[in-house]
A and B are shown apart, each in its own frame.
Chain A
Amino acid sequence: MAEFHKSDVEKLLDGVLPWPAVQDMMRSPKDPDRFDKYVEILQSRVPWPERILLPLTPALFIVAKDGARIVKCRCGHEFGDYRVNWKLAALIHVRADEASLREVYRGRETPDPAWIQVREYVCPGCGSQLEVEAVPRGCPPDFEFLPDLDSFYRDWLGRPLPDAQAFEDRTLEVVRSWRRDPAPAPRRKA
Chain B
Amino acid sequence: MTTDGILSLKEQLGRNDELFARTGHLFGLERLARKESDPGTYEAVWQILSSVCNTAWVAGCKVSSSPIAAEGGDALWALHLPTGEAICISRGITAHPGLISDMIRHFIELGYEEYPGFHQGDIFENNDPHYGGIHAPDFDMAMPIFYQDRLVAWASAVSHANDVGSVTPGSIGFLNPDCYSDGVCISMEKVGEKDRYFPWYEMRMRSRTRTPDWVMGDARGRLAGCLIVRERLTRVIEKYGLDFFLEASREYVEDSRRYAVSRIRTQAVPGRLRKSQFKDLAMKGKRVLLPKQDVDCLFNLPMELEVRPDATIRISLRGASGTVPFGENISPVALKSGLLNGYSHVVGFDMFNSGPTAAWRMETPPEGSWANPFPKDFSASSGVAWAPAVLWVSSLYEVMGRLYHARGFVEEMAAGAATTMTAEFSGINQQGVYVAGLTLEQASNGQPARGFADGENSAWCIYTANADFGNAEISELFYPVLFLGRNIEPDSSGYGQHRGGLGHTAVWLVHGTPGIEYQCGCAGIRSKTIANHGMFGAYPAFPDRPAFAHETNLNERIAERLPLVHERGDPDDPDLARNIRATRLETGVIAPFVTPEPLVEGDLIIHPVAGAQSMGDPLERDPAAVAADLDRGWTRPWVAEDVYGVVAKPDGVEWKVDEAATRARREQIRSERRARAIPFRQWWEQERERVAARQDMDPAVLQMWRSSMALSPDYGAELRAFWDLPSDFEF
Residues of A whose CB lies within 8 Å of any CB of B are 9, 12-15, 17, 22, 25-26, 30, 32, 34-35, 37-39, 54-59, 87-94, 96, 103-116, 118, 120-122, 124, 126-140, 142-149, 151-152, 155-156, 167, 169, 171-172, 175-176, 178-179, 183-184, 186-188, 190
Q: Are A91 and B674 in contact (CB under 8 A)?
A: yes
Distance of A106 Cα from B571 Cα, bound (Å) = 6
Q: Are B696 and A129 in contact (CB under 8 A)?
A: no
Known: A91-B674, A91-B680, A115-B280. 14 other contacts (CB 8 A): A15-B498, A17-B452, A26-B412, A57-B405, A58-B620, A89-B680, A106-B571, A107-B572, A107-B588, A128-B537, A134-B533, A136-B701, A136-B705, A149-B271
Q: Are B572 and A106 in contact (CB under 8 A)?
A: yes
Q: Are A178 and B673 in contact (CB under 8 A)?
A: no
- Please, what's the 1-or-0 string for B718-731, where 1 marks a CB less than 8 Å from any CB in chain A? 11011110000001
Distance of A152 Cα from B310 Cα, bound (Å) = 10
State whether A138 and B731 are in contact (beta carbons under 8 Å apart), knowing that A88-B680, A133-B533 are contacts in the complex. yes
B281-329 residues with Cβ-Cβ distance < 8 A to A are 298, 307, 309, 311
State whether A136 and B697 are in contact (beta carbons under 8 Å apart), knowing that A34-B407, A145-B273 are contacts in the complex. yes
B653 interface residue per 8 A CB criterion: no
State whether A96 and B410 are in contact (beta carbons under 8 Å apart), knowing that A148-B270, A148-B271 are contacts in the complex. no
Q: Are B678 and A156 in contact (CB under 8 A)?
A: no
Q: Kindly state the interface size class of chain B when it binds its partner.
A: 35 or more
Distance of A38 Cα from B721 Cα, bound (Å) = 38
Q: Are B679 and A115 in contact (CB under 8 A)?
A: no
For residue A32, give the distance in angstroms from its CB to the closest CB of chain B. Answer: 7
Q: Which of A25, A30, A133 has the most CB of B within 10 A?
A: A30
Distance of A186 Cα from B685 Cα, bound (Å) = 10
Question: Which residues on the B side are within 8 Å of A135 (C-beta)?
Answer: 276, 278
- The 3 A-B pairs of least Cβ separation, nearest first, read A38-B408, A108-B588, A107-B571
- Please, what's the 1-or-0 string for B596-630, where 1 marks a CB less than 8 Å from any CB in chain A? 00000000000000000000111110100000000
Distance of A9 Cα from B309 Cα, bound (Å) = 27
B406 interface residue per 8 A CB criterion: yes
Question: Which residues on the A side are within 8 Å of B530 (C-beta)?
Answer: 105, 111, 116, 118, 134
B37 interface residue per 8 A CB criterion: no
For residue A177, give the distance in angstroms from its CB to the closest CB of chain B. Answer: 10
For residue A117, give the distance in angstroms from its CB to the closest CB of chain B. Answer: 9
Q: Are B538 and A132 in contact (CB under 8 A)?
A: yes
10 contacts between A and B (CB under 8 A): A13-B410, A15-B452, A93-B673, A104-B495, A115-B280, A127-B669, A132-B534, A134-B533, A156-B265, A186-B682
Distance of A24 Cα from B310 Cα, bound (Å) = 29
Q: Which of B311, B405, B408 has the most CB of A within 10 A?
A: B408
- Please, what's the 1-or-0 string for B520-543, where 1 marks a CB less than 8 Å from any CB in chain A? 000000001111011111111011
B666-694 residues with Cβ-Cβ distance < 8 A to A are 669-671, 673-687, 690-691
Distance of A96 Cα from B276 Cα, bound (Å) = 18
For residue B454, give the distance in angstroms from its CB to the closest CB of chain A. Answer: 9
B142 interface residue per 8 A CB criterion: no
B94 interface residue per 8 A CB criterion: no
Distance of A126 Cα from B402 Cα, bound (Å) = 22
B411 interface residue per 8 A CB criterion: yes
Distance of A26 Cα from B617 Cα, bound (Å) = 25
Distance of A126 Cα from B669 Cα, bound (Å) = 11
For residue A13, give the distance in angstroms from its CB to the closest CB of chain B. Answer: 6
Q: Are A35 and B410 in contact (CB under 8 A)?
A: no
Q: Are B681 and A88 in contact (CB under 8 A)?
A: yes
Q: Are A178 and B271 in contact (CB under 8 A)?
A: no
Partner of A9, one of B408, B542, B723: B408
Question: Which residues on the A side are within 8 Å of B622 (C-beta)?
Answer: 15
Distance of A156 Cα from B309 Cα, bound (Å) = 8
Q: Are A108 and B545 in contact (CB under 8 A)?
A: yes
- Please, what's the 1-or-0 string for B251-284, where 1 marks a CB less than 8 Å from any CB in chain A? 0000000000000011101111111101010000
- Please, what's the 1-or-0 string for B638-674, where 1 marks a CB less than 8 Å from any CB in chain A? 1000110000000000000000000000000111011
B570 interface residue per 8 A CB criterion: yes
Question: Which residues on the A side are within 8 Å of B442 (C-beta)?
Answer: none
B482 interface residue per 8 A CB criterion: no
Partner of B406, one of A22, A25, A143, A147: A147
Q: Are A147 and B269 in contact (CB under 8 A)?
A: yes
Q: Are B683 and A138 in contact (CB under 8 A)?
A: no
Distance of A184 Cα from B695 Cα, bound (Å) = 24
Question: Which residues on the A side are within 8 Å of B497 (C-beta)?
Answer: 58
Question: Which residues on the A side are within 8 Å of B274 (C-beta)?
Answer: 142-144
Distance of A176 Cα from B724 Cα, bound (Å) = 8
B700 interface residue per 8 A CB criterion: yes
- Please, what's the 1-or-0 string for B172-216, where 1 marks a CB less than 8 Å from any CB in chain A? 000000000000000000000000000000000000000000000
State whether A175 and B721 are in contact (beta carbons under 8 Å apart), knowing that A120-B677, A136-B704, A145-B402 are contacts in the complex. yes
Distance of A149 Cα from B407 Cα, bound (Å) = 12
For residue B489, give the distance in angstroms from its CB to the closest CB of chain A. Answer: 10
Considering the complex, give the chain B residue whose CB is closest to the CB of A96: B696
B90 interface residue per 8 A CB criterion: no
Partner of A127, one of B674, B690, B704: B674
For residue A164, give the distance in angstroms from its CB to the closest CB of chain B. Answer: 13
Q: Are A54 and B269 in contact (CB under 8 A)?
A: yes
